Amino acid sequence: MDDCLFCGIVAGAVPAELVHETERTVAFRDIDPQAPTHVLVVPRDHHVNAVELAAADPATSAELVTAAAAVAAAEGHPDDYRLVLNTGPGAGQTVFHTHLHVLAGRPLTWPPG
Ligand code: AMP
Ligand code: ZN
């Protein structure tokens, strides 16, 4: 998708600090980190949110989660991390290309804000 920021990162047209790649996913550091580890895992293909990705491509949906676990482990947090899928503007989604937030490295309170 031409005007999608995360498609641009996947294509290498927009700079980002990539930390992990799989056949179907790319992971890069969030530009405005909310924890010592704050990485976004995205599918290489454009889908607007997690539900659309799951319906269209369940294998990539699963790979997003396994990639997120690999990122957390590589960052030194194999057992304690938070995965977040903001879905819809009212829930804080600002980029409409599916992305799984991986947050770790500080106490993570519940409920989240
Ligand atoms: P969300 O609010 O759930 O849609 O998450 C979008 C995330 O993308 C936010 O945490 C932003 O800080 C992050 N973000 C926006 N632009 C960039 C960028 N160019 N590189 C990396 N992360 C970004
Ligand atoms: Zn996209």
- More confident site: 2 or 66: 66
pLDDT reading at 113 higher than 90: no
From ligand 1's centre to the CA of 19, what distance in Å?
15
Q: Which atom of ligand 1 is nearest to the CA of 29?
A: 21
Catalytic residue numbers? 99
Q: Which CATH superfamily is domain 5-104 in?
A: HIT-like (3.30.428.10)
User: What average pLDDT does the structure give for the chain?
Assistant: 97
| pLDDT 10s digits, 83-98 | 999 999 999 999 999 9
pLDDT (0 to 100) of residue 38: 98
Nearest Cα neighbor of 103 from 91, 94, 113 is 113
The residues placing their C-beta within 5 Å of ligand 2, an ion, are: 1, 4, 6-7, 46, 97
Domain boundaries, the chain: 5-104
